Amino acid sequence: MDFKTYKSYHEDFMKFNNGTSLQECGVLLSLIPLASTNFISAICILAVDFHVFPRRFAKTELYGCGLMDLGVGFFICANGLVHNRKSHQTKTNVLKNFLNCGVLFMFGFIRLISTKTIEYQEHLTEYGTQWNFFFTLGCCKMFIYLAELLFQNKNFLWLCIVTGIIHEAILSLGIREWIFSNEPRNTFLSANREGLFSCLGYLCIYFAATCLGKFLTFSSSMKYQNVITFFVSLSFFGWVTVIFFNHNFGISRRLANSGYIIWVLSLTVNILLLLTIIELSLIILKNEKPGLINVVFQTFLLNEIWKVMRHLKKSINFGYT
């Protein structure tokens, strides 16, 4: 069989999707994880407050692999996947890039003020007393923009490795035990030790995700079997590494340690592999009624939302009876 290149399949995919450009098809796989992460996170954040929500899906305190432990890691990773596209559009406008970070910090302060004002129940061991996810994402983006200014080639693979090594080295100097301890939170550093010291781990995830995003952007010139082979090989290597790091260091969202970093990236690669196979299958199987397929895709999300709401309503009613 004479295999077509991944680019030719993307050109077919362009015709199949009403003239979507080849460049837009190149970032399609990176946009789907971002949208899916937003949707699943919104459901879990609301559902975790109900007793019917399985506790095994909730965030772990020290070490472990819960569903909600993936939320922040996937969100950081999904933002890294689409970062290349955004940076190409605004690479000459440094001020605008840092203003984007300022918006995230502003949201962080708004959340901080609102939660303190209404005395909303907070989980201190998640980020700390004042820290929250918006500050973490803002710091990651700020360091990425600084790295782009200092290193024009934007190949962050070596930065990812160096950041991961430095982060694990810092944790091994007694910081890991201090974060898990019940030491008083009487200073800014001690009050927010989880959020501050996990930033390097999330930055490592962001660096790695930008490399994956860059690969997705330029993979249109590769044979599709080579793309799948790359993801399969990377997935196998990732899960072998996960087993090794889990045995030696453990997996901790609270620390964002090396085990957590590899775990999140391995799952991301698995998702990208699955999406690649689905995308190519749509072209190979070539449905003759693309309009009907588009309608199904457009109504699928509404159908899922309705199904979730219906199940939630039944669960809530059952809880009160």
Q: What is the pLDDT of residues 106-158, one digit of tens each?
A: 998 998 898 888 877 777 788 888 898 889 999 999 998 888 888 776 678 88
**Are residues 166 and 298 both part of a single domain?**
no
SS3 (DSSP) at 223: strand
The answer on pLDDT for 74 being more than 70 is yes
With a cut of 80, say whether residue 244 has pLDDT above it: yes
pTM of the complete model:
0.76
Q: Say whether both 261 and 303 belong to one domain.
A: no
Same domain, 111 and 171: yes
What is the structure's pLDDT at 86? Answer: 52
Total count of domains within the chain = 2
Could you tell me if residue 278 is inside a domain? yes
Per-residue confidence at 207, pLDDT binned at 50, 70, 90? very high
Pair 269, 186 in one domain:
yes
Range of the domain at 280: 6-286
Same domain, 179 and 296: no
- What SS3 class is residue 5? strand
Burial 267-305 (b: 16+ CB within 10 A, else e): bbbbbbbebbeebbebbeeeeeeeeeeeeeeeeeeeeee
pLDDT-wise least confident of 23-27, 64-68, 181-185? 23-27
Q: Residue with structure tokens 């360091």? A: 143
Q: What is the phi/psi pair of residue 5, to 5°?
A: -80, 160
Q: Are residues 230 and 311 in the same domain?
A: no
What 8-state DSSP symbol labels residue 172? I
pLDDT for 225-239, tens place per residue? 777 788 888 888 988
CA dihedral 7, 13, 19, 22 (to 10 degrees): -30
In a domain, 209, yes or no: yes
The candidate with the shortest Cα–Cα distance to 136, out of 125, 147, 145, 127, is: 127
1 part of a folded domain:
no
Angstrom distance (rounded) from CA 36 to CA 193: 30
Q: What is the pLDDT of residue 306?
A: 55
43 and 179 in one domain? yes
154 dihedral zone (left: phi>0; alpha: psi -120 to 50; beta): left
The verdict on residue 73 lying in a domain is yes
28-32, 39-43, 87-91: which has the minimum mean pLDDT?
Answer: 87-91
- pLDDT of 297 higher than 70: no
- Judge if 102 and 176 occupy the same domain: yes
249 lies in the same domain as 306: no
| Across 104-113, 122-131, 263-272, 305-314, least confident range | 305-314
pLDDT at residue 285, rounded to an integer? 63
Statement to judge: residues 45 and 161 lie in one domain: yes
Same domain for 215 and 317, yes or no, is no
| Rounded distance between C-alpha atoms, residue 291 and residue 266, angstroms | 35
| Most confident stretch, 75-84, 188-197, 217-226 | 188-197
pLDDT above 90 as % of the chain? 13
Smallest CA-to-CA distance from 155 within 147, 164, 145, 163 is with 147
Mean pLDDT for all residues in the chain: 75
Q: Are 182 and 297 part of one and the same domain?
A: no
pLDDT greater than 70 at residue 204: yes
